[in-house]
A and B are shown apart, each in its own frame.
Chain A
Amino acid sequence: MMAVAAFVSLFALLILGTALAAVMDRAAVALASGRPMGAALKEPARRAAALLLRQKVETERPDSITWPLAPVAYLMLAAVGLSVVPFAPGVVVTDISTGIVLWGACEALTVIVVFLHGWSANAPMALIGGYRYVGIGLPVLLLSMFVLIAAALPAESLSVVEIVRAQEAGLWNVVRQPPGLALFLILGLMLTLRGPFDYADAEDLAGGTKAEASGPHRLAWRVARLAMLVSFSAMAATAFLGGYLGPVLPGPLWLVLKTVAVMAAVIAAGHMLARLPPSRMLTTVWVVLLPLSFLVLVLVGVELLLWP
């Protein structure tokens, strides 16, 4: 019974969350540019319908396996990543003792999927996007692992269920380690190819890895990016904001509210922050952000030693 509830919750959150993310994304653009907000409700559906009907464009000798599979794999990784998030006590699809590591594996495979999407088109802009993304994506990945281990330290467990339980017994991780959440949001920008970390699909490369994608393929890629945003936001809400914990309202509703809040933060950051040139960003990530994430881990460790 619990397993059925968990599966239904996962797909409901993923599908409805993706639709909401699409609307929020358009609404953010409308808000920033002063256009009427009403169009944001209909525009994603209209764009999706247009993409579905548009013809498919073939590049010269694409990799016939990875080119069509990349959007599918991206979407699957979003679903697998979300599967470790508990929706309520006992309602979780993948209840394993190493949930955080499984999420980390999904992060790493996402970098590969985005790279392969850029590489397999056999076209220059997409290829540059893919390689550029890997250079930035890999150190951000390392950063996120330090931050996640810090979030798991108070629970003394790699299980996401235990991490929520530890936040129930003690403080939410966002109170204990606020820089951790800020650093983790950077991972969100990287995983969903957004704003300051959009080195893969950026407009300066005419769309980067998706430059050659058209019709249903392009739609699938967009949907997968939004689904990954939902998956990431639910994970951030669970690891740092207490997941389903909260007063008065039922647990799953709290998780949804927090997920939407994180989603809004990532979408806003994606639209409002500027992107650095890749070489400068690479130096920033390795020299500033990565040591900072290690410092967070050390501080959390010291804190737990002093006040267990």
Chain B
Amino acid sequence: MAVTAADVLFWLLALCAGVSGWRVFATDSMVRASFLLLLSFLSVAGIMLLLAAPYIGIATVFMMAVEMMVMALFMVMFMMNPAGLNPMMMVHQHKLAIGAGVLAFLGLTAAILLTDLPSDPVPADRAVVHDLGIELLGDSMLVFETAGVTLLATMIGAVVLSSRRGRYGDADTGSRPPGLEPGGDPAGREPEEGGGGHHHHHH
């Protein structure tokens, strides 16, 4: 069997996806981990393009770029690690994590080896993007819309739950620095009325 350019590209992308995926857990920075994971996803997106899935491949690049950027931002915001610059361990619960990782690897490998995967080249003139659109907004609409709305609700819920407790007390009671002495004037400048958005502070 002759090795084609697509084969070489596939193995290169697969290697890049695997190595950058492993480096996610070996690095010591939240920002590096996020963008190494992005590199892994970009490689997978390249493989999808090789599989003649132009929409899913490029949409993966777009979505993952935005998601990893948001993830890096939120991780740095919620972890008490100033600006994400301090080195930190990116793995925890080592024994459980190793066990889960090995189990998942074995399971997925078994699934790949035991499944009779189709070898079904896509005809060049097939309108794959059109077909995908019909599928997403046709038979599979309920599944995708349910998943989408659930994810959105989860995201909003997570932000609401995690952002209520602010640095200077609960966010919904107004953000006001603590006094220099108990009950005294707040340290630093008080936020101007309406300047920072929706906070109403007490006088």
Physical interaction between A and B: yes
**Assembly CA distance A109 to B83 (angstroms):** 21
In the complex, A59 has a CB within 8 A of chain B: no
Q: Which residues of A contact B (CB under 8 A)?
A: 63, 66, 96-98, 101-102, 104-105, 108-109, 111-112, 115-116, 119, 122, 127, 131, 134-135, 138, 141, 158, 277, 279-280, 283
B49-84 vs A, CB cutoff 8 Å, 1 = contact: the mask equals 000001100110110011011101100000000011
Question: Which A residues are CB-close (under 8 A) to B118?
Answer: none
Q: Are A98 and B69 in contact (CB under 8 A)?
A: no
Query: CA A104 – CA B66 in complex, angstroms?
Result: 10
Residue B129, interface by CB 8 Å: yes
Given A104-B62, A105-B62, A109-B61, decide whether A138 and B55 contact each other with a Cβ distance below 8 A: no
- Measured CB to CB, the closest approach of chain A to B106, in angstroms, equals 33
Complex Cα spacing A134 to B34, Å = 15
User: In the complex, are the beta carbons of A283 and B61 less than 8 A apart?
Assistant: no
Decide: A138 and B70 in contact? CB cutoff 8 A. Answer: yes
26 example contacts (A-B, Cβ-Cβ < 8 A) are as follows A97-B129, A98-B55, A98-B58, A98-B59, A98-B129, A101-B55, A104-B62, A105-B58, A108-B65, A109-B65, A111-B65, A111-B66, A112-B65, A112-B69, A116-B35, A119-B31, A119-B84, A127-B85, A131-B83, A134-B69, A135-B73, A138-B69, A138-B70, A141-B66, A158-B129, A280-B195
CA distance A173 to B13 in the complex (A): 38
Report how many residues on chain B are interfacial, defined by Cβ distance under 8 Å: 26
A102 and B197 contact, Cβ closer than 8 Å, known pairs A109-B65, A112-B38, A131-B83 = no
Contacts of B84 in A (CB 8 A): 119
What CA separation (Å) do A111 and B54 show in the bound complex? Answer: 22
- B160 CB, nearest partner CB in chain A, Å: 16
Q: Are B197 and A283 in contact (CB under 8 A)?
A: yes
Known pairs A96-B54, A119-B31, A279-B195; A101 contacts B66 (CB<8 A): no
* A-contact 0/1 string along B185-203, CB 8 Å cutoff: 0000000000111000000
Task: Report Cα–Cα, A277/B32, bound state, in Å.
Answer: 29
How many angstroms between the C-alpha atoms of A205 and B68 in the bound complex?
Answer: 26
Q: Are A127 and B196 in contact (CB under 8 A)?
A: no
The CA-CA distance from A116 to B65 in the complex, in Å, is 12
Top 3 nearest A-B pairs (CB, nearest first) are A108-B65, A105-B61, A105-B62
The smallest C-beta distance from B72 to any residue of chain A, in angstroms, reads 8
With both chains docked as a complex, state the minimum distance between the C-beta of A195 and any C-beta of chain B, in angstroms. 22
Q: Is B197 a contact partner of A108 (Cβ separation < 8 A)?
A: no
In the complex, which residues of chain B have a beta carbon less than 8 angstroms from the beta carbon of A119?
A: 31, 84
Chain B residues 71-101 with CB under 8 Å of chain A are 72-73, 83-85
